[in-house]
Structure 1
């Protein structure tokens, strides 16, 4: 693509100067969307996105819905580059059929999200939120908590983030059970993890942490029936996708004392605003540690994902292939195989 025809629109916040400089050095005009305070691109409708992207060849996107209808309205858009690793809001089939490339920032935020998952386990076990609330109220009584040390931790999903969590748990001498469809005996031998099915994880885990993609098969994998099979007093951590958990069922379990607490960075209300009252009730609870889908949002993690997203855009605009692990849809002819 000609270097004078490279308009890249960024609809994500916290896009740093180094990533902008990289794009500009590659001949791109960079336009960063001016979103209202507190609004993410996931709140932009079709018409707003179409207007922003009307002359764009590259799009660095967060959580906006990328529909077939939108792509058809943007014939010049060559590459959709997610600054993140989830892509359930992108119509990959339409992108491929319409000749577009969709990429993710694979490897950029793994460490940041894995750190957050471990941090939530510690915060829940040691009751940090409850203790500080009591101190703020003038009561300095000691609340007894729970160790992560030598506990049983169930990890659902063994992608990059799941493996990062397993690596960090080794320092706590935890017994780690893993539910995954990708069994790797060499990895198990090297790390000491034990592969098990989900029912075994539910029954045995003191901490259950989710690192699976959201698919029709995984939606509501943690519901009332699954929670009933969990070890009483266990902790649930979800830093993956809100739809993996039925938030209403989780709220009921916490209210009933079935679980001891939950660490939540993602919520069903992100996709379904009608569920906002459930989210509000969850985050108000003293036994819930919550964040607003911020697991990847460290300065370091954002810098890594920004640059990966930018490099993917430039590769496509140059007629090259982005790193294979970043490509989730490619409607172009293979590089080097012209018509």
Structure 2
């Protein structure tokens, strides 16, 4: 049996490499850090029976060109890069564990929320330029937090927010009234979240309904000191509209860990002083990387009964 790994971060993680050595005789790691296009991915998978895939697009064309493939095991949590229906139609198993990196992402959300509200990032960068500007912003405690998407990561953010005594507004397409009541959450429309929240954090999948949900219209509803955090999917936010909102001061700040194209080619946006930019590392703590990798390996082990 042959297994290929597409993810560069998986392929350079010593503990995951050791786990691969212990469990499989024939495997290939992406040690060159290649980002595969469709044709390159087909060639890379070749005659393998299993693939551990990161962010590469697993399309019907890829599946048809790799007839030996029996399982696509996801390294990570989002499945929007895997054509799930095409896998089912071809009887190809999907190995996936939801929320495996939830703590890593949620901690980043809390950290960036505090950094934006307290002007930590902004004033630190000013001080590096020799500018002493004492603007301590406001505390996270007792602010209004809007959580859009109450899945694994959204719930983890809510759990970490408990000591801060915030008013938490939530919105999700799935009814979770018992969970909301138990945790003192207020279920409202997205529009109400936009209008009243001090911090808006997005944790939805990318669908036709959620694509560019943050746009000129939604930004116009927000308070002028509100901050937005997106650690989910880049196309949830219209970055052109966000750039205008930040430059004109119609919102207070933002944090982006994901982009419409990665790496982003938006130098003007990235240079905005009250925008925290990170290179898609929300779920990339060393603990989360190992958890995601172990989960992906485990799905293959279980599928083949090894």
TM-score in terms of structure 2 length: 0.94
Question: Does 1:151 find its partner at 2:146?
Answer: no
Equivalent residue number for residue 268 of structure 2: 281
Q: Is the 8 Å Cα contact of residues 247 and 272 (structure 2) preserved in structure 1?
A: no
- State how far apart, in whole Å, the 2-side matches of 1:78 and 1:286 are: 48
Question: Does 1:168 find its partner at 2:168?
Answer: no
Cα deviation, residue 269, structure 1: 1.9
- State how far apart, in whole Å, the 2-side matches of 1:100 and 1:300 are: 29
Equivalent residue number for residue 58 of structure 2: 66
1:295 to 269, 282, 286: 282
Q: Is the 8 Å Cα contact of residues 209 and 237 (structure 1) preserved in structure 2?
A: yes
Question: Does 1:189 find its partner at 2:184?
Answer: no
Structure with bigger RCO (C-alpha 8 Å, 6+ apart):
1
- State how far apart, in whole Å, the 2-side matches of 1:49 and 1:64 are: 8
- State how far apart, in whole Å, the 1-side matches of 2:241 and 2:164 are: 30
Task: Give the number of aligned pairs.
Answer: 304
Find runs of 4+ consecutive structure 1 residues off by over 6 angstroms.
Answer: none
Equivalent residue number for residue 127 of structure 2: 135
Cα deviation, residue 141, structure 1: 3.3
SS in 2 for 1:306: helix
SS in 2 for 1:268: coil
SS in 1 for 2:200: strand
TM-score in terms of structure 1 length: 0.85
SS in 2 for 1:269: coil
Q: Is the 8 Å Cα contact of residues 238 and 263 (structure 1) preserved in structure 2?
A: yes
SS in 1 for 2:261: helix
RMSD after superposition:
1.7
State the Cα deviation string for residues 142-181 of structure 1 (Å, max 9, x = none).
2231211100000001000000000111111100000112
Question: Does 1:7 find its partner at 2:2?
Answer: yes
Map 1:248-267 onto structure 2 (within 5 A).
Answer: 248-267=240-259
SS in 1 for 2:3: strand
